[in-house]
């Protein structure tokens, strides 16, 4: 195994490690099983932390491991202050934190604040009647005179966002599954309870949070109908095209201005501990604008990611230019966290039909762009989307919309550590999702032995970013597209002379790039990029070729 880099964890709580940092997402059910039940666990993550540290990343983000009925695999929390037994114990989590910190890796955990499970004691009390102490902790509403739901809001998982409850003879709001009722953030007691939960995990030593569905916290207190979204503005970034959720502009069911007030309170708590957060902005029309609002300096979370690079739209050179132009227009001071893959979307190697050369090119690109980076487990191996048969599906999303939409199981199959058995070294038992046979040839053990493996390239580009502060925090200027050729410059944020010129051929043909004049350009070594014949000549880029050059 490669040597673990000396990343270290700054003792200075004001250090902005997150700005330009690299975060590695772990989906705990599918990382490493140590108990033989076919489901990954916290001790499995701890066991594999040396591998993660060897990637050179700044932090890990662990998807939910809280007590849960697992109807949405942990994103339906029934106890915010404990670990679900299938993942281990609080002591196991404490040991994970200690081990990670000893290896120089920070730990961020997934906080699901917009909704809970219907098995949470808060909801069980709230639904008993209309007068109990938590009666107003969730979004309840009377039916219309004809008995139908209060408004036209839709659930991301299909159908109305309202569920009738016979105990209260009212509807409750659920933006996701029926078993995931939405908390009422208009109630100050709810905000206090959730901030207390946040403090509980900060006191246990976590370094930050990934905030699930950060723009869903507040619903319109007047419960007004969402307007229709014109067909030409619909897209499938957030929900598949077969879902009628795409037919509405969700101005009342989410994206409310009150959210900014709560996020200011949340940020104040983070600042007490020197912690950081990245918010998931789930909105296909206003995602980038909300990113700017929610990461306003000192008043919101430190960084957010929208879905611009998580969609099926091919990531062409022109698309990258458009995204950065939009970012500079609506969120010039916002701080993005870019991801190409995660646990909710088809893996980008499949979405964009990339061969290994394409995967290398995009791995280099994401580490060269302005913003922070989030990598998803297995991305560093070049894993494609796994094919999961209908009878093996676990995801309620895929089961609901099959076969037009296969759900999210294909990106959640177990990590492949070795090719010597059918479970890829993940578990000695039958895994909760089948290991893809196509993934076994990309197993970690095999790639460790190959000098030209994609895994080593990821280590190289993460190291490049770590060793070059201008790539972490420097502005990105002159972002331009010429055919398939994407070029941009990263410059010293303090106005010094350091300049990095980046060029990527995001296509299958040959091209040449003319270097900016007067640079005395020298290649950044160790990342496999093309090199100029001399300091001030052009560079030939083959299909999926790239070059990153430093000015003398």
Written as one string, the DSSP assignment of 362-375 is HHHHHHHSSSEEEE
N-to-C CA span, the chain: 34
Distances (CA, A) of 221 to 13, 139, 170, 259: 37, 9, 16, 12
What is the widest separation between alpha-carbon atoms in the chain?
78
Closest alpha carbon to 383 in 336, 343, 337, 432: 343
Q: How far apart are CA 179 and CA 176, in angstroms?
A: 8
Indicate left, alpha or beta for 158 from its phi (over 0: left) and psi (-120 to 50: alpha): left
Q: How far apart are CA 243 and CA 359, in angstroms?
A: 30
Written as six digits, the tokens of 463 are 């190291």
Is 272 tagged catalytic? yes
Instruction: Catalytic residue, from 118, 212, 385, 395: name it.
Output: 212
Written as six digits, the tokens of 94 are 């404490």
Q: Count other Cβ atoms within 10 Å, centred on residue 125.
A: 14
Is 124 tagged catalytic? no
Three-class secondary structure of residue 522 per DSSP: strand
Within 106-182, residue ranges assigned H as helices are: 121-126
DSSP designation for 237:
S
Three-class secondary structure of residue 437 per DSSP: helix
Cβ atoms of 56 and 11 within 8 Å: the answer is no
Kindly give the interhelix angle for 259-273 and 287-294, rounded to the nearest 10 degrees: 50
Instruction: Catalytic residue, from 196, 271, 272, 538: name it.
Output: 272
Residues carrying an active site annotation: 212, 272
């Amino acid at each position: 195994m490669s040597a673990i880099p000396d990343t270290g964890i700054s003792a200075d709580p004001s250090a902005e490690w997150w700005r330009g940092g690299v975060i590695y997402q772990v989906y705990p059910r599918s990382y490493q099983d140590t108990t033989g039940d076919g489901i990954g666990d916290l001790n499995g993550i701890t066991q594999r932390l040396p591998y993660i540290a060897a990637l050179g990343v700044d932090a890990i983000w662990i998807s939910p491991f809280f007590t849960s009925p697992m109807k949405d695999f942990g994103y339906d929390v029934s106890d915010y202050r404990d670990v679900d037994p299938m993942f281990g114990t609080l002591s196991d989590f404490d040991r994970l934190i200690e081990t990670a910190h000893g290896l120089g890796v920070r730990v961020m955990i997934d906080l699901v604040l917009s909704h809970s499970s219907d098995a949470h004691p808060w909801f069980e009390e709230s639904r008993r009647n209309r007068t109990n102490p938590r009666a107003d902790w969730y979004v309840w509403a009377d039916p219309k005179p004809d008995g139908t739901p209060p408004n036209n809001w839709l659930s991301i998982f299909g159908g109305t966002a309202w569920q009738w409850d016979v105990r209260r003879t009212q509807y409750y709001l659920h933006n996701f599954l029926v078993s995931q009722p939405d908390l009422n953030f208009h109630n100050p007691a709810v905000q206090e309870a959730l901030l207390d939960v946040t403090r509980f995990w900060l006191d246990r030593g976590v370094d930050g949070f990934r905030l699930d569905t950060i723009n869903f916290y507040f619903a319109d207190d007047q419960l007004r109908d969402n307007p229709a979204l014109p067909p030409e503005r619909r897209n499938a970034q957030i929900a598949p095209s077969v879902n009628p959720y795409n037919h509405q502009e969700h101005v009342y069911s989410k994206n409310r201005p009150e959210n900014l007030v709560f996020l200011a309170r949340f940020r104040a708590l983070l600042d007490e501990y020197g912690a950081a957060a990245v918010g998931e902005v789930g909105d296909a029309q206003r995602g980038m604008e909300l990113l700017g609002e929610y990461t306003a300096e000192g008043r919101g979370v430190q960084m957010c990611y929208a879905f611009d690079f998580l969609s099926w739209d091919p990531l062409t050179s022109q698309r990258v230019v458009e995204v950065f132009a939009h970012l500079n227009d609506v969120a010039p001071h916002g701080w993005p966290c870019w991801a190409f893959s995660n646990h909710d979307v088809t893996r980008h190697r499949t979405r964009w039909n990339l061969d290994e050369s394409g995967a290398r090119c995009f791995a280099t690109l994401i580490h060269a762009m302005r913003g922070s980076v989030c990598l998803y487990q297995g991305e560093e191996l070049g894993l494609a989307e796994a094919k999961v048969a209908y009878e093996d599906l676990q995801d309620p999303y895929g089961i609901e919309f099959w076969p037009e939409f296969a759900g999210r199981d294909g990106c959640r199959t177990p990590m492949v550590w070795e090719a010597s058995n059918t479970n890829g070294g993940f578990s000695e038992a039958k895994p909760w999702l089948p290991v893809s046979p196509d993934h076994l040839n990309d197993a970690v053990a095999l790639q460790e032995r190959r000098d030209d493996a994609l895994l080593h390239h990821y280590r190289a580009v993460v190291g490049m970013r770590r060793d070059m502060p201008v790539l972490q925090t420097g502005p990105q200027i002159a972002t331009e597209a010429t055919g398939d050729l994407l070029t941009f410059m990263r410059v010293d944020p303090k106005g010094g002379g350091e300049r990095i010129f980046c060029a990527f051929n995001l296509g299958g043909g040959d091209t040449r790039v003319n270097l900016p004049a007067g640079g005395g350009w020298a290649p950044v070594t160790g990342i496999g990029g093309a090199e100029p014949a001399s300091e001030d000549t052009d560079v030939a880029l083959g299909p999926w070729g790239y070059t990153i050059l430093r000015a003398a």
